[in-house]
């Protein structure tokens, strides 16, 4: 009779351990969710950095000097009385 009690108790303990480790909301699922949260936090940090760079570029292009510089660098624009000389590396 006592062995059956121990077997039942051991079975219940095993089921509880399985639920703790493998069940919904278990430790394995929590560690996976923490990993996903960390990965998303890294993506968010990168996007914030990119967003800051874009805001700075927009602010620079909002001025006449910044717009003129961007036109010169990106489009090769020049004023009417200037000569454009490109130095190859």
- Tens of pLDDT, residue by residue over 66-88, are 888 888 888 878 888 888 777 88
What is the reported pLDDT for 34?
94
What are the domain boundaries of the chain?
26-60
pTM: 0.57
- DSSP string over the chain: -HHHHHHHHHHHHHHHHHHHHHSTT-HHHHHHHHHHHHHHHHHHHHHHHHHHHHHHHHHHHTSHHHHHHHIIIII----TT--------
């Amino acid at each position: 009779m006592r062995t059956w009690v121990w077997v039942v108790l051991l079975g219940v303990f095993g089921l509880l351990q399985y639920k703790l480790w493998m069940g919904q909301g278990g430790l394995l699922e929590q560690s996976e969710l923490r990993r996903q949260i960390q990965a998303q936090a890294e993506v968010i940090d990168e996007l914030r950095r990119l967003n800051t760079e874009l805001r700075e570029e927009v602010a620079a292009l909002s001025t006449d000097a910044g717009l003129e510089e961007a036109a010169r660098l990106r489009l090769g624009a020049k004023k009417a009385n200037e000569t454009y000389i490109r130095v190859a590396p």
